[in-house]
Amino acid sequence: MKNRYRLLLISLLMILLLDITACTRGQVMREPNQRAKVQQIHYKEWLEAANRMPYEEHRKHIQNMSQLFPGVVFYKGNPNKKWVALTFDDGPDNYYTYKILDILHEKKAPATFFIVGKEAKMFPEVLKRIVSEGHDIGNHTWDHMNFNSLNTSKVKQEIQKAEDEIQRITGKRTDLFRPPYGIATVEDIKEIHNLGYRVIDWSVDTVDWKGSSAREILTFVNQEVSPGGIIVQHCMAGKKGELDGTVKALPRIIDRLRAQGYEFVTVHTLLGS
């Protein structure tokens, strides 16, 4: 009887070791691109922010702010031109950003990347590639902290620290800014404007950070896109670190919208500057 228990215990230990080995192997597969390291952008805060401001409420918030601050807050461009701007938040990283850049290069489609300063510091060569290939860049704060938890002084610090890093790497300053989660108060916007930025929100939310499938992302775009639209996607982070749906959907978005007569432009072009 004791031998049976001993054999059972040994079998269970072997199964456990196999599971651990399999998990470790999966982690090793990701290490060349440091995916595990670079995919930690406050996912819990993201969910909390989304819960505080649901989709329709956020849309109304953006529209209200654009009316309160004309020429400062934008969520779309000229509706009389069939232009659309692709935007990508939270990068750069050295995995998904590369894949997205490869697609944009192949399709000859310009885009605008809203840069998180600490990620730029980690992957300066990726940021340099973004700029060298003719894409727009915008400031997306130093480490993507929710403005709801910050005072005005800290908001300013988050923006300025990111700007300093972007300038150090690219030699350029940007006048485009996107607040984390697209949320900013009246006082925040006044401070952002005083720093020389325009606030860029969006009219089409692909919700790709949830790990949405390519089909879901395409559905969001098809339902919401209109002339002058600004589409928000991500080039880093996402639920469980996965943005595979974003990568798979991107060439289809470009092909489908071009077939409908849309032209892809940067945010600066969209706004006429």
Determine contact, residues 267/200, Cβ cutoff 8 Å.
yes
- The answer to whether residues 80 and 150 belong to one domain is yes
Tell me the residue range of the domain where 229 lies: 38-270
List the catalytic residue out of 89, 188, 201, 205. 89
- The length of the chain is 273
CA distance 114 to 216: 23
Q: What is the pLDDT of residues 63-113, one digit of tens each?
A: 999 999 999 999 999 999 999 999 999 999 999 999 999 999 999 999 999
pTM above 0.75, yes or no: yes
For this structure, is 90 an active site residue? no
* Catalytic entry in 135, 140, 144, 234: 234
90 and 193 co-located in one domain: yes
111, 85: one domain: yes
How many other CB atoms are there within 10 angstroms of residue 3's CB atom?
7
Mean pLDDT of the region 21-35: 37
- Out of 26-40, 93-107, 132-146, 258-272, pick the least confident: 26-40
Average pLDDT over every residue of 190-203: 98
* Banded pLDDT at 273 (limits 50, 70, 90): confident
Tens digit of pLDDT for each residue in 198-245? 999 999 999 999 999 999 999 999 999 999 999 999 999 766 678 999
Predicted confidence band of residue 30 (pLDDT cuts 50, 70, 90) = very low
27 and 141, same structural domain?
Answer: no
Which CATH number goes with the domain that contains 177?
3.20.20.370
Whether residues 82 and 129 share a domain: the answer is yes
89 catalytic, yes or no?
Answer: yes
